[in-house]
Structure 1
Amino acid sequence: MHKLAFQLVSSSTAMWATALRQKYRMLTTCPLSIARRNCSPLWHALVNTWDSFRNNIFWLVGDGHDVHLWNDTWVPNLGPLRSWLTHASSGIDHMHFADLLQADGNWNTSRLSALLDPTAIPHVLGVPPPSLDDSRDMVAWKCTPTGIFTVSSAYENLLSESWDSCDSKWTGIWSLPVAQRVRMFLWLVLRQRLLTNAERARRGMSSDPSCSCCGFFNETILHILRDCPPMRSFWQSLIPQSDHDYFFGAPLEHWIFSNIRTSRVFGRGTPPWSCFFPSFLWQVWKRRNDFVFNGECLPLPDVYRIGLVWASHFAATVPDVVMDSHAATDFIQWVAPPHDWVN
């Protein structure tokens, strides 16, 4: 009796899934986005959890017909291969598995070396290449030993991903002597919620994830704030040469926290680096948006000056922040640096 009831429920669920897929024209197994206009509350709820769902599936490659070469996770320990590409190419999105194989069906190591970061190539070579003689590609669920999706495992995964507001690291953000909007900005940065072009493309809001400034193929938060060539050049003029390796090599979260926790003083009569750094990042983000949406691009030295004034003003309101005693009357001024201070 129980077995019959389970079969009836499973059959009913499969029918609902088929009906929804046909209604919303979901033609592939696991597309990047399932967002639709004028969708039902049920489908809207699926849209809100789709990214989390995709992050927890893994493709077992068979004939390579259903797996997206760059956007799906099919290589163990790497995630989507798109994040391991070494350069942008107009033909990347039109490539298939066959383009990475030799005539004998084995991986083309020369082609892989031309496209991917060298550290990723051994992982790819560890995956058997697809073959037309193999069975169809299969999707596995990462959160269960069997690879079969269950609601309970999905719920537990969502709970594990939830934000812990009591985490001590957030105390440092909310207590910074900067404007409240700057604190909120840092929170969005660390939660990876800024609508960069890469994020907009991931959400299906745009088809172009590239940087509007330099054309780099993937405009991430770290690219905007640090790695875009104009920004990188500017940071190099501010950061001592001895700190370049860590400053430009640290991942996003470490980069942010190491800079807001330092006791370094930016210069005589100015606030500590921990005050200036977040205020400057906020102005850099505003500059980027002004360029993207209004076509205007404030010179970085001007952005620097604005960030310095903001930091000085708010640092002066916090008694625990050490400022130069003769700098109080200079908070709303800017003293020009040497003529050759930056290229």
Structure 2
Amino acid sequence: MGGSPAHLDSPMVDGYGKLQTNGLRFHKRLTKNPCLLDCAQTKEYMLHVFRDCWRARTIWERLVDQDKWVGFSQGSSENWFLRNLEADFNSQGVTRWRLLFGVTVWQLLRRRIDRCFNTEVFGRDPVGVILDYVLEVELAFLNNKNLGRDST
């Protein structure tokens, strides 16, 4: 079969499954600037991309229940990801926090990739895009579940 697994084919993931930070991209001569694209911070790390960057934070602040913000916004990378797959910090009334969390992380990464490699400007509200994707996935799940019942 050959080739690498699909999750490693992204230009933003290195051969070890780690997020290619701008510093790593600079080292590999994929960019001329080792600093972050939007932030004053010079060192990029995974939590910065997905939680601490002002772009990510403004999205999360609209999705996470204010009373749960402190619990949501603390912890190391692994701890933060695991806690968000187990807990419910939802303020949007979405029934599946894990789905909302996963779609949000995916959208944050997608937007970062576009900012790194394209000049595309996003015209649509990112939270609206995220909630639309969540709704689409929930409807697809329900339709699939209902199709399974109809066939019996």
Structure 1 length-normalised TM = 0.33
Question: For residues 235 and 255 of structure 1, what CA distance do their matches in structure 2 show?
Answer: 13
Match of 2:59 among 227, 234, 253: 234
Normalized per residue, the structure richer in helix is 2
After TM superposition, give the deviation of residue 245 of structure 1 in Å. 2.8
1:215 equivalent to 2:40? Answer yes
Secondary structure at the aligned position of 1:310 is classed as helix
In structure 1, the residue matched to 2:92 is: 267
1:68-107 correspondence to structure 2 within 5 Å: none
Shift in CA distance, 248/297, structure 1 to aligned 2, threshold 3 Å: farther
After TM superposition, give the deviation of residue 266 of structure 1 in Å. 4.8
Residues 287 and 297, structure 1, Cα contact 8 Å, conserved in 2: no
Matched to 2:45, the amino acid is T
Residues 225 and 285, structure 1, Cα contact 8 Å, conserved in 2: yes
Divergent runs of 4+, >4 A:
202-207, 263-266
Shift in CA distance, 295/206, structure 1 to aligned 2, threshold 3 Å: closer
In structure 2, the residue matched to 1:315 is: 138
Question: For residues 57 and 89 of structure 2, what CA distance do their matches in structure 1 show?
Answer: 20
Consecutive unaligned residues of structure 1, counting only runs of 5 or more, are: 1-179, 320-343
Question: For residues 23 and 102 of structure 2, what CA distance do their matches in structure 1 show?
Answer: 22
Question: For residues 114 and 66 of structure 2, what CA distance do their matches in structure 1 show?
Answer: 31
Q: CA RMSD in A?
A: 3.1
Matched to 1:314, the amino acid is V
Shift in CA distance, 241/263, structure 1 to aligned 2, threshold 3 Å: closer
Higher RCO, Cα 8 Å, sep 6+:
2
Question: For residues 263 and 249 of structure 1, what CA distance do their matches in structure 2 show?
Answer: 14
In structure 2, the residue matched to 1:112 is: none
After TM superposition, give the deviation of residue 295 of structure 1 in Å. 1.9
Question: For residues 292 and 206 of structure 1, what CA distance do their matches in structure 2 show?
Answer: 9
Residues 261 and 274, structure 1, Cα contact 8 Å, conserved in 2: yes
Count of equivalent residues = 132
Larger-gyration structure (1/2): 1
After TM superposition, give the deviation of residue 203 of structure 1 in Å. 4.9
Query: Which whole-Å deviations, capped at 9, do the CAs of 1:186-206 have from their partners, x for residues lacking one?
Result: xx6xx7522221332455655
Consecutive unaligned residues of structure 2, counting only runs of 5 or more, are: 1-5, 143-152
